[in-house]
Amino acid sequence: MNFSIDSTVTLNNGVKMPQLGLGVWKINNAGAAQSVQWAIKHGYRAIDTAKQYGNEAGVGEGLTKALADNGLKREDIFLTTKIFNGDQGYESTLKNFDGQLKNLQTDYVDLLLIHWPVDGKYPDTWKALEKIYQEGKARAIGVSNFNITRLQDVLKNGSIKPAVDQMEFNPLCQEVDIKNFCDEHNIHLEAWSPLGGGTVLGDERLQKIADKYNKSVAQVILRWDLQQGIITIPKSVHEERIVQNADLFDFELSDEDVAEIKGYDEDKRSLWYGGFKWHGNPTGFGDAVQSWEDTGEYAK
């Protein structure tokens, strides 16, 4: 398998999406701006954010600066954001999405996702995404944290098939049933928290495999994602780690090692729909934009 940092997958509407990107969850605006600039400087061409992360403005600033610094155009970068839970519903999604574009300093995104399947609202939110897509403000649309039942709901009632389902996915949480469903319906699975929030990095079994290839556990996990066709978006605020997370293209895991890691699945989620109250509870998870302490101009 010949992969490079420029490797892409083809979504079900024909749009090509980089298979490796940078995630920016739990990063403040200043940190997001810097991380985006580092990532693009070192060859990344996909950036993933969300309104709920509270750092779209930082991502927008970092993207604008990185394009200028590296002689790139907006179309050279694949930008993903997500509809905030508190904005869900048809009219509210349409109204608030334009503000997201403004913060991101762009007039379109490459992929727009429903962040979470808020009960009673996500069907209308999906209709709004279809309109945004038809207007050319998103090149592809999809969902995040949707289980099979909710994916089936969107497939049954929508007129456009989701291109992506972004799920928590790592060696201890492999969402096998959801991945199989996505494969059957030509929906790409994208991994958030591909390194398990760091929890899997100390796994002795993975360390043994990493030693065999003279790589880190993180590099083995990310390469494992790529070899399965999974889109992956590791997060880091350290330039050297951003570089290391993309140093995946001078080795290939054997079929035996890919299969062995598949055997580590414990269905061990750190977050999942069933644990939250999204039935109209205004204090439920995701009903507020997260705030990570900012510095400089963002602290104003």
Looking up tokens 């991380």 gives 35
CA–CA gap between residue 226 and residue 205 (Å, rounded)? 19
Q: Which of 297, 223, 293 is CA-nearest to residue 254?
A: 223
* Tokens linked to 164: 């992506």
Question: How big, in percent rounded to 5, are the helix, strand and coil portions of the chain?
Answer: 45, 15, 40
Cβ(201)–Cβ(195) below 8 Å: yes
In the block, residue with structure tokens 């030693």: 211
Q: Distance between alpha carbon 8 and the CA centroid of its chain, in Å?
A: 15
- Least Cα distance to 90 among 124, 138, 51, 123 occurs for 124
- 48 forms bridges with which residues in the sheet? 23, 80
Answer whether 210's CB lies under 8 Å from 216's CB: yes
In 3D space, the residue among 82, 72, 86, 124 whose CA is nearest the CA of residue 104 turns out to be 82
- Alpha-carbon distance values, 89 to 126, 156, 186, 244, 293 (Å): 8, 18, 26, 40, 29
Q: Which of 53, 90, 108, 122 is flagged as catalytic?
A: 53
Is 90 one of the annotated active-site residues of the chain?
Answer: no
Q: Which amino acid is at 123?
A: P
**Catalytic site positions:** 53
